[in-house]
Amino acid sequence: MLRTAECVSPRHPDKLCDRISDAVLDAYLEQDPKSRVAVETVGSHGKIMVTGEVTSLAKDIDIEKIVEEIAGAGYDIIIHIVEQSPEIAQGVDTGGAGDQGIMTGYATRETDTYMPKEYELARGLCQAVYEKYPYDGKTQVTVNQAGEITSVVCSFQNAPKTDLEKLVKETIKDAKEYHINPAGDWNQGGFDADAGLTGRKIIVDNYGPEIAVGGGAFSGKDPSKVDRSAAYMARRIAVDYLEKYPEAETVLVKLAYAIGHPNALMAVATVDGVPEEVEGYDLTPNGIKSFLQLDAPIYKDTAAWGHFGRGFSWK
């Protein structure tokens, strides 16, 4: 049995889009904590478009400045923002979920962060390389059932292979295989090399490919969108249950919602393969927002390096 996870740097084109979308969200929440925001960003070869729906009392949000602070200058920036559909708003105004969907949360005892080992290794390596080479890049780590590292992949812009290989081997020792810039050294990255889109790194944002996700992306969405807030709550419950049952090794939590309906339709925690109903939590969107303090402008920090295992209120 082999398990593999990857991580991407904050300058990866998809992550640039996530960061822009969440920075825009924060700008609205800073002025109006009740802002309804659903913002998507796409960037590609000299152009960046920010589009979506916003209903807010916030004024004079300088989206172009936000884009330039994250992506840099010199882009043709297109902004197309409209108000949230009143047909969606009528269900959210009464405290209902902003959409239907299934959200998952996971916690495992194999690392101090309660994250899968292969995920933490890939993330830690990416962070270590990015500190020296703050550019576009990716890492990938494979472990076997015994927890041994069988392969490491690292591709980073502006990082000469010889120097990069030395850094990688100092960070992750004794892997059986190393693949460093396997397609050759490269200097063109970000939006100059590839298109980016908000929400396209959903597996990196969660727990890696071994753990199922509900399907909804996070970035650019205010907490009335249960794609985000309920996924955070599911992680918090998973961590709570792992701490509640000291002999347990893994907890998987699943929540489900209907648009316009406040209460979860499903709330199940599976502890080491044994399911039980989740009780003792207010799982309404308003209850989650209050419990996890999600109406603050905290989201830009979540858009790089994954949303879990980093010390946020949902842990």
pLDDT digits (tens, 9 = 90+) for 239-251: 999 999 999 999 9
Rounded to the nearest integer, the mean pLDDT of the chain is 96
In three-state secondary structure terms, 240 is: helix
Does domain 101-111+211-302 fall into CATH 3.30.470.20? Answer: no
Structural contact between residues 191 and 16, judged by C-beta atoms closer than 8 angstroms: yes
Domains 2-8+116-188 and 101-111+211-302 share a fold: yes
Residue from 201, 190, 219, 196 nearest 43 by CA: 196
Confidence (pTM): 0.96
What are the residue boundaries of the structural domains of the chain, listed by start? Answer: 2-8+116-188, 101-111+211-302
Write the class of the CATH domain 2-8+116-188. alpha beta
- Which token pair is 206? 């969660």
How far apart CA 146 and CA 148 sit, in angstroms, is 6
The pLDDT tens digits for 295-308 are: 999 999 999 999 99
Instruction: Please give the Cα distance from 149 to 84 (Å, whole number).
Output: 47
Q: What is the separation of C-alpha 137 from the centre of its chain, rounded to a whole number of angstroms?
A: 17
Please identify which residue in the block is written with the tokens 């992306």. 217
Question: pLDDT value at position 214?
Answer: 86
The count of C-alpha atoms lying within 13 angstroms of the C-alpha of 65, restricted to the half-sphere facing its C-beta, is 4
Greatest C-alpha distance within the chain: 59
Alpha-carbon distance 223 to 181, whole Å?
A: 39
Task: Using a pLDDT cut of 70, give the percent of the chain over it.
Answer: 100
